[in-house]
Amino acid sequence: MSDKRKHDRAFVRTFFTTPTAEQGEDDPAKKLRGAIGLRGMQAPDVWVPDNEDATAPSMRDEGAENVAEVVAEGGADFPGEIHPRVVWHRDDPGTRYRGFQHMLTIADPEKGAVDHVDGFVIPEVGGIDDWKKADEFITIVEHEYDLEEGSLAMSVIVESGAAELAMERLRDEMGKPDNNLERLFLLVDGEVDYTKDMRAITPTGALPPWAELRHNTSRAASAAGLIAVDGPYDDIRDVEGYRERMTENQAKGMTGIWSLTPGQVVEANWGPLPPEESYWLVDEGGREVELEREDGVEVYDGDRISLEGAGDGYVLTVGSDERRLADEDELREELLALVDYVPSMNDVVDSMEEFEEAKEAGRGAIAMTRSATIRIDGVEVDVSSDRMWDEATYQAMMVPVALFQDVYENRPDQRDDLAERYGEDVVDRAMAVGS
Yes or no: say if 45 and 411 are a contact pair by the CB < 8 Å rule.
yes
Kindly indicate which of the ranges 76-84, 103-111, 210-218, 409-417 contains the residues binding a copy of itself, using the contact rule CB under 8 A: 210-218
Specify the DSSP element, H or E, that contains 342: strand 339-342
Total site size for a copy of itself, rule CB under 8 A? 82
CA distance 304 to 302: 6
Q: Are strands 119-122 and 379-389 parallel, antiparallel or unpaired?
A: unpaired
What is the smallest separation between the CB atom of 325 and a copy of itself, expressed in angstroms? Answer: 15
Yes or no: say if 371 and 223 are a contact pair by the CB < 8 Å rule.
no
* 108 is an active site residue: no
The answer to whether 272 contacts a copy of itself (rule: CB under 8 A) is yes
- Site for a copy of itself, residues 234 to 263, rule: CB under 8 A: 234, 247, 250-253, 255
Draw the binding track, 101-140, toward a copy of itself (x: CB under 8 A; -: no contact).
-------------------------xx-------------
- Site for a copy of itself, residues 46 to 85, rule: CB under 8 A: 53, 56
Outline where 231-374 has alpha helix (H). Answer: 239-251, 262-270, 328-338, 345-360
Q: Which is nearer to a copy of itself, 252 or 415 (CB)?
A: 252
Q: Which is nearer to a copy of itself, 144 or 390 (CB)?
A: 390
Yes or no: say if 121 and 86 are a contact pair by the CB < 8 Å rule.
yes
Active-site residue (options: 115, 301, 390, 425)? 390
Q: Which is nearer to a copy of itself, 47 or 389 (CB)?
A: 389
Kindly indicate which of the ranges 43-51, 73-81, 335-343, 374-382 contains the residues binding a copy of itself, using the contact rule CB under 8 A: 335-343
Draw the binding track, 386-415, toward a copy of itself (x: CB under 8 A; -: no contact).
-xx-xxxx-xxxxxx--x------------
Q: Which is nearer to a copy of itself, 11 or 78 (CB)?
A: 11
Kindly indicate which of the ranges 69-77, 96-104, 324-332, 384-392 contains the residues binding a copy of itself, using the contact rule CB under 8 A: 384-392
Closest CA to 58 of 83, 26, 28, 35: 28
DSSP string, 373-425: EEEETTEEEEEEEEEEE-HHHHHHHHHHHHHHHHHHHH-GGGHHHHHHHH-HH
The answer to whether 319 contacts a copy of itself (rule: CB under 8 A) is yes
Yes or no: say if 160 and 188 are a contact pair by the CB < 8 Å rule.
no
The answer to whether 32 contacts a copy of itself (rule: CB under 8 A) is no
Q: Which is nearer to a copy of itself, 386 or 424 (CB)?
A: 386
What is the smallest separation between the CB atom of 162 and a copy of itself, expressed in angstroms? Answer: 4
The answer to whether 176 contacts a copy of itself (rule: CB under 8 A) is no
Q: Which is nearer to a copy of itself, 172 or 409 (CB)?
A: 172
The answer to whether 94 contacts a copy of itself (rule: CB under 8 A) is no
Q: Which is nearer to a copy of itself, 139 or 249 (CB)?
A: 249
Kindly indicate which of the ranges 111-119, 150-158, 318-326, 415-423 contains the residues binding a copy of itself, using the contact rule CB under 8 A: 318-326
CA distance 301 to 97: 61
What is the smallest separation between the CB atom of 328 and a copy of itself, expressed in angstroms? Answer: 18
The answer to whether 290 contacts a copy of itself (rule: CB under 8 A) is no
Q: Which residues of 190-226 are buried (b: 16+ CB within 10 A; e: fewer)?
A: bbebbbebbeeeeeeeebeebeebbebbbbbbebbbb
Cα-trace Rg, the chain:
25
Yes or no: say if 50 and 80 are a contact pair by the CB < 8 Å rule.
no
Would you call 61 exposed, middle or buried from its count of C-beta atoms within 10 A (0-12, 13-18, 19+)? middle
Active site members: 390
